[in-house]
Amino acid sequence: MAILQNLREKLLSKTGKKVAGNIGWLTFERGVRLGLGLVVGILVARYLGPSDYGKLNYVITFAIIIESITSLGLDNIIIKKIVALKDRQFEIINTSLSLRFFSSIILIPIGILLIHLLRDDYTINLLAYIILSSVVFRSIDVTDFWFQSYIDSK
């Protein structure tokens, strides 16, 4: 009973109201994003048809695999290092940006070559060039680590 009373007092405080409001907005944003993604996915699937939608998903799957390899599994480690080493935070961000960028430059041609070898289809190859080239620009997501580390340090 004391736990519920303590929780109630914290939620009714000024900080508690701010936290509850932020949680509400984050939940709303996530729900809207999921809903819009579902609607767009359905419309794209209806427009392309089963065959072309399958080709699109085939190439997107390759892009996701390549992107997960280019991140090198360092996301959480980078955030922890930025929090721990405040004086070297920009050096850490620049190094991780370089690692992601150059690993994507190396892995994109490998992904395109694999798609060429596995499926000799003009549409799939064209989609591979377009979608896999976007993986390079995902390396800029490293800038988000600074904001995440700022939140973690509070």
Query: CA-to-CA distance for 4 and 102, rounded, in angstroms?
Result: 52
Give percent of the chain with pLDDT exceeding 90: 36
8 pLDDT more than 90: no
58 pLDDT more than 60: yes
Residue tagged 């209806």 (tokens): 46
Q: Which stretches within 71-154 are classed as H helix?
A: 75-84, 89-118, 122-133, 143-152
Give percent of the chain with pLDDT exceeding 70: 92
- Greater confidence, 19 or 91? 91
Containing domain of residue 147, as a range? 2-152
11 pLDDT more than 70: no
Q: pTM score > 0.85 for this model?
A: no
What is the number of structural domains in the chain?
Answer: 1
- The whole-chain average pLDDT of the chain stands at 86
